[in-house]
Structure 1
């Protein structure tokens, strides 16, 4: 991997949620390649252990894992404590965990069906960030990075839980950026389009590709490159922004 000036993260500690596969695992590999030490969290301990093993073998990374549901009441404390107990610091928080599309119309959607999306995509990141801020204030380069979605910017229909929660996530990012800037904590979001992971159903794949002017889906590593940039010193004058990584999809109104 090429290293740009100001991109190294040597000695910094990063938390990545939803890190057991797909984009989360890619974020972990990219951050580790830049020298970050990692706390990885997800639901499945076995999958987390597999990613951690790869990182230690391929990147010689320092990694700890915390398996569990980020929406549980004690999850925030457990995740933050893993960083502080192990390394005594926290520098980067990557909110990657999320629930995907439910593909229902208004008539088929109830407010109760929205709640799990809000819990995972908005409320859990709020709680984790709130717990992290006292430690981020002590960092010399504190960052909070949300993995949102282009569908939080421009709805694509029939996925109310996902789209409403991703739009709310962007609102949360801006509110945090506005308040925390006085502490030097930079808060930004990345808004991917469709990404080549197993979260894209096979029957939906061709339609997703057709909607992207570049004619393909993003690879997880391409989203991870944007994460690494926002975590780096090179992004030290960026806050409150949503960075689109969508192959030009919004150029055609998707």
Structure 2
């Protein structure tokens, strides 16, 4: 099992689904976890779950990631409290609406782009100095294959994930001489998540992983990254976790 003792782990989308499962598993592995999400009450429930493991309580950070000033304030708080972050897992996402491209509601499209693209840039901007300060910072971003396949009626979600991937790949290229490694992870369809319910309401759930299973696989990927040579930014793009 990965050892995250003495590591500061920031998880976005930590109030539910994959983000919540990753936060609990990171705490189980000894990490000091920062729970980032919009709703304090939901984050407190995850904090209680971490406390039940007899681990150090998490830091709760109710933040709207689409607002630059909120993310900058979070970065400032983390710098004052820890001076660094060691791991960022960006699990927050907006599933969007299945609709023909010609019928998209601009407001719904803006919601997806705000979370998948704008929030990603806000995190990169505010957290890069904190990840550099770690000496071996690691950043994990969740994506999905629709970013490249863009199936019919999935244009809204595909646009968001394609934008996220473009930003992350460019950032990774810029970090070639920095002690930060960047990982793109596609967990595939995951049962029990808001995204799965929104995109495949009548689809079969047979064979799908749970958020807890995804969290275990993701931490294995992170373990391999942490074991890699420092000083090299390497983008690992996984088509599926399995």
TM-score (norm 2): 0.89
Measured at CA, do residues 164 and 91 of structure 1 come closer, stay the same or move farther in structure 2, by a change above 3 Å? same
Alignment of 1:223 with 2:224, yes or no, is no
The equivalent of 1:252 in structure 2 is none
Alignment of 1:187 with 2:182, yes or no, is yes
Measured at CA, do residues 88 and 154 of structure 1 come closer, stay the same or move farther in structure 2, by a change above 3 Å? same
CA RMSD of aligned residues (A): 2.2
In 1, distance between residues paired with 2:184 and 2:159? Answer: 16
In 2, distance between residues paired with 1:245 and 1:167? Answer: 16
SS in 1 for 2:5: coil
**What is the total number of aligned residue pairs between the two structures?**
237
Shift in Å at residue 59 of structure 1?
4.8
Measured at CA, do residues 93 and 202 of structure 1 come closer, stay the same or move farther in structure 2, by a change above 3 Å? closer
Measured at CA, do residues 207 and 156 of structure 1 come closer, stay the same or move farther in structure 2, by a change above 3 Å? farther
In 2, distance between residues paired with 1:160 and 1:202? Answer: 14
TM-score (norm 1): 0.85
Which segments of 5 or more consecutive residues in structure 1 lack a partner in the other structure?
210-214, 248-254
In 2, distance between residues paired with 1:203 and 1:30? Answer: 26
Of 200, 207, 213, 2:203 maps to 207
Of 221, 234, 241, 2:227 maps to 234
Alignment of 1:50 with 2:41, yes or no, is no
Check conservation: 1:70, 1:76, Cα contact below 8 A: yes
Which segments of 5 or more consecutive residues in structure 2 lack a partner in the other structure?
none
